Amino acid sequence: MNHTGIGKWNIGVGLWLMAGFMVYGFVLIYLRDFAPDKLAWIEGYNVSPHFEARLAHVHGNLFSFLNIVFGFLLLRLLIKPGLARWASWLALAGLLMPLGILGEVYLGIPFYLVLVGGLSILAATIALGVGVVQMRLTPEGRRS
């Protein structure tokens, strides 16, 4: 068991942002079903910025969930501390992707955060996979 606490922030931040993206989902439901201009929203449902808004909602929840899973695994598995730290920070940086999509839609910021976040979550997944493969097991199948 990891006693360094690596992964705790992934779980906490993952849960917080998941809650935020869930609330954002209710906003999207309101815009589609209840807002005074809902017909305009429905007509533009598959084009920008409505498509990107839904994309941010889906990826925000997915990447939040991935952070929760990564955090749990990092807390439970004996992955080398340096590699565990990298996987943890890269997974957290992956959350820049859905936040970057929201930034594009609502603030007009460039797409750079989306790219950085996407590459970060990919790198985190690879790092965690390497860490799991490098774990040593005793002949009884227990971690050493």
pLDDT in tens, the chain (144 residues): 666 789 999 999 999 999 999 999 999 999 889 999 888 888 887 887 889 999 999 999 999 999 999 999 999 999 999 999 999 999 999 999 999 999 999 999 999 999 999 999 999 999 999 999 999 876 655 555
pLDDT of residue 12: 98
Domain contains 2: no
Entry pTM: 0.90
Domain contains 65: yes
Tokens of 115: 């790219």
pLDDT of residue 140: 59
pLDDT of residue 141: 55
**106-124 b/e (C-beta count within 10 Å ≥ 16 → b):** eeeeeeebbeebbebbebb
In angstroms, rounded to a whole number, what is the distance separating the alpha carbons of residues 84 and 128? 7
Domain contains 45: yes
Tokens of 100: 């970057």
Domain contains 105: yes
State the total domains in the chain: 1
pLDDT of residue 65: 98
Domain contains 1: no
Give the helix/strand (H/E) hosting 21: helix 8-33
Residue 131 C-beta-side C-alpha neighbours within 13 Å: 24
Domain contains 3: no
Domain contains 144: no
Structural domain that includes position 57: 8-134
pLDDT of residue 61: 97
In angstroms, rounded to a whole number, what is the distance separating the alpha carbons of residues 10 and 92? 6
Answer yes or no: are the C-beta atoms of 87 and 74 closer than 8 Å: yes
Residue 128 C-beta-side C-alpha neighbours within 13 Å: 24
| Helix, coil or strand: residue 143 | strand
In angstroms, rounded to a whole number, what is the distance separating the alpha carbons of residues 127 and 114? 20
In angstroms, rounded to a whole number, what is the distance separating the alpha carbons of residues 7 and 9? 5
